[in-house]
Amino acid sequence: MKTTVEIPNPLLAEVRKLASREGATVRALVEQGLRRILAESQKPGAFTLRKASFKGKGLQPGVAHASWERIREMAYEGRGG
């Protein structure tokens, strides 16, 4: 069966590159993606991460622009780590 699907140009460009690298067609990749989505949606008890965010205004000012390494250092300061 034929159908028309609108795909954003940047996404289509990426899919074409992937298809070329893998020696596949865009159609094959679309079919593969749709099959994967269907399979995942039919899994009983599929894990869903609950919303666990907190109200607030983001990171504290001293941490907002720090690197991950600095944030980790601050978390372990005074704890022997």
Please give the single-letter amino acid code of residue 74: M
Give the model confidence (pLDDT) of 9-64 as tens digits: 999 999 999 999 999 999 999 999 999 998 888 777 767 788 888 787 777 887 88
16 torsion bin: left (phi>0), alpha (psi -120 to 50), beta (else)? alpha
The pTM (predicted TM-score) of the whole model is 0.51
Per-residue pLDDT at 80 exceeds 90: no
- Give me the pLDDT at residue 16, please: 96
Per-residue pLDDT at 81 exceeds 60: no
- Give me the pLDDT at residue 24, please: 95
| Helix, strand, coil fractions of the chain, as percent rounded to 5 | 50, 0, 50
